[in-house]
Structure 1
Amino acid sequence: DKIPDTEILRRAKMPGIVVTTTMAQTRWAGHLVRMPDTRLPKKAFYSELKLGKRSRGGQFKRYKDCLKVNLKNCDISVDAWEQDACDREQWQKRIHDGAAKFKANRILQAKQKGAQRKSRQNQALGQKGIQCPECRKTFLAKIGLYSHKRTHNQNQKKHRSQKAFRAP
Structure 2
Amino acid sequence: MPDVRLPKQLLYSQLSQGQRTRGGQRKHFKDTLKVNIKKCGIDIINWEKLARDRATWRRLVREGTSYFEENRLALELKKWQKREEIKQDREIRGPTLPLATVCSICQRVCGSRIGLFGHQRTHLQP
- Mapped to 1, the partners of 2:5 and 2:63 lie a distance apart of 29
- Mapped to 1, the partners of 2:78 and 2:41 lie a distance apart of 21
Say whether residues 1:121 and 2:121 are aligned partners: no
Aligned in 2, Cα 1:115/1:109: closer, same or farther, shift over 3 Å? same
- Cross-structure match for 1:65: 31
1:89-130 Cα shifts (integer Å, max 9, x gaps) = 100100000000110111111011000001011111111249
- SS at 2:8 equivalent: helix
Contact conserved, 2:10 with 2:29, CA < 8 A, in 1? no
RMSD: 2.2
Equivalent position amino acid for 1:52 in 2: Q
- Cross-structure match for 1:7: none
- Cross-structure match for 1:55: 22
Structure with the larger helix share: 1
C-alpha displacement of 1:45:
2.2
Identity within the alignment, %: 34
Q: Say which of 34, 38, 58 aligns to 1:92.
A: 58
Structure 1 unaligned residues grouped into runs of 5+: 1-34, 131-140, 147-168
- Mapped to 2, the partners of 1:54 and 1:80 lie a distance apart of 30
- Cross-structure match for 2:7: 41
Per the normalisation by structure 2, the TM-score is 0.69
Moved over 6 A (4+): none
Structure 2 unaligned residues grouped into runs of 5+: 97-109, 116-126
